[in-house]
Homo-oligomer: A and B are copies of this chain.
């Protein structure tokens, strides 16, 4: 079926989260039994305990897929986001920041209760690596009722963050959104989000893969999900399920594969890496925007690399300059 003209480039589903970023040393990570570079879910008490021992914070709207949506908008794409906030101060901050970034966001807030809007305590070590402790609050309540199939049908790509996969309530929402996208002749993209999360939600993620058209992962996640001996084998295996696979390797660049051809694209050099929070999210933004703009896969990966390079050059997980202008200067977008 030939889809009707799309009015959205990317419709992103994810946790609506406000990040609380603070600098810390490696000793703090060790003392709290955290694994550097990963995300763990914590409950309200654990969140409060870590917060109490953290240094002064900076609050910025985050959430993996929401960051990606903000990146798509900064690249001139039409983006929308679906995710749950509470009717509280952090929820209003999240909604404001996303809309101010040019992303359509209409999920109604849930009544403010004991849970509140999700927050992630993001600990940034001197090596610019981030370690995240996320209290989901009402974000974990995303459900089928939040999926508007008509809205899904208007988006070229329905994008899902892996952090949603394996959560009982969200699982139904994802299935419904993915089915609606395919029924409308659209594509579904999935990001694997985090190697620890992949380890925990292994079966749930593998179960989704046959319905995923575009898979985004980093090297650790790809190897973890497939159990392959190395990256090349992992990419080969993933392309058997997913028509397009992009795997990021930090400063080593990106591998992009479509089952016929695998291309290595170098990373965009960064003068000083300040904070890697959002690197994967912004790679996804560039990659998806490239696809919706009709770019060849290697140029999609280049656009992803350019967006990631901007976001790791400053504190925070969303672009602080027009990515569209950067992309135009690099000759990747008009």
Interface residues of A (CB under 8 A from B): 20, 22-23, 51-52, 54-61, 70, 88-90, 93, 96-98, 100-101, 116, 316, 318, 320
Contacts and interface: CB of A to CB of B under 8 A. Distances in A.
A139 to B, nearest CB: 15
Nearest to A321: B23
22 contacts: A20-B93, A23-B320, A51-B96, A54-B96, A55-B100, A55-B101, A56-B70, A56-B98, A56-B101, A56-B318, A57-B93, A57-B96, A57-B97, A58-B59, A58-B60, A58-B316, A59-B59, A59-B93, A88-B89, A89-B89, A89-B90, A89-B116
Contact of A56 (B51, B55, B61, B90): B61
Question: Across chains A and B, which 4 residue pairs bring their CB atoms closest together, nearest first?
Answer: A59-B59, A56-B97, A89-B89, A56-B100
A62 to B, nearest CB: 11
Nearest to A54: B100
Work out how many copies of this chain go into the complex: 2
Query: Secondary structure at chain A's binding surface: helix, strand, loop or mixed?
Result: mixed
Contacts of A55: 100-101
A101 B23 CA distance: 12
A316 B314 CA distance: 14
Given A55-B101, A56-B70, A56-B97, 6 more contacts: A22-B100, A23-B320, A55-B100, A57-B96, A58-B58, A89-B116
Nearest to A92: B51
A54 B54 CA distance: 29
A94 to B, nearest CB: 10
Contacts of A318: 56
A20 B93 CA distance: 10
Contacts of A88: 89
Contacts of A70: 56
A316 to B, nearest CB: 7
A302 B20 CA distance: 33
